[in-house]
Amino acid sequence: MLEAAHGNAMAIIPLRAGSKGLPGKNIRPLAGKPLYLHSVDQALRVVGHCAISTDISDVLCGDYSPACRLVARPPELAQDQTPIAPVLMHVFEHLKQQDALPKIAVLLQATSPLRRDEDIRDAIALYKSGRFELVMSVVKTDPGILKYGFAKSGRFTPVSSPEFCFSNRQSLPEIVRPNGAVYVFSPQMFMQNGSLATQSIGSIEMPETHSIDIDTIADLKAAEEFLLRPSFSKAS
């Protein structure tokens, strides 16, 4: 039986060697340690257990807590266009073979180093309420997207209600988007559906300042500047 800080839960941290925007970004130094270790340390601190899916040899050769499992990712699942679904399926099938498949999976992207401990705790708590099949972190974004639509064969189809296309931006309702920092769901549900897509999604909101998704050297520098502020603390 897998015991963790949040019961039968495990954090999943996917790491890929290749990156067009910032080569080797997952192992680049950030505020004194490799980028990916910020998520590993946070996962062990908050969730209690984690599994790292990676094709990075330096990561696979690392020395970690017994609560951290390494899952070697095959080359065909480490391509630029590889979606997250087959990567997660590979991890869960591996864990199932090891009799270590958790009831709750907490997907933590290493490229979100400003995610706070409380964001993870809040997402897990909302998921455990039983109201949703998936809980994810979101951040406020420009509501102007409600004025957009699809154009095909001369026909315009609004992405939402047609009246929004003719509304003043100031009168549009608040809009949020996934920021990629936290996803909480059932591995069993995922393995059955083969996807994270569901009609039952809950959300916890994160501030824009903590929603940096590192893809460039500028993102890395901005995150480091934030992390080194005396007032900033991820732990809570």
Tell me if residue 180 falls in helix, strand or coil.
strand
Q: How far apart are the first and last CA of the chain?
A: 28
**What ranges do the domains of the chain cover?**
9-139+178-227
Class of domain 9-139+178-227: alpha beta
Q: Give mean pLDDT, residues 105-113.
A: 97
Q: Residue type at 160?
A: S
The answer, as to whether pTM is greater than 0.85, is yes
Q: DSSP class of residue 128?
A: H
Share of the chain above pLDDT 70, in %: 97
Q: What is the pLDDT of residues 170-225, one digit of tens each?
A: 899 999 999 999 999 999 999 999 999 999 999 999 999 999 999 999 999 999 99
Tell me if residue 211 falls in helix, strand or coil.
coil
Residues with Cβ < 8 Å from 172, sequence gap 6 or more?
Answer: 143, 144, 146, 147, 164
pLDDT, residue 3, reads 44
pLDDT, residue 81, reads 87
Whether the per-residue pLDDT at 77 is higher than 60: the answer is yes
207 in Cβ contact with 112 (< 8 Å): no
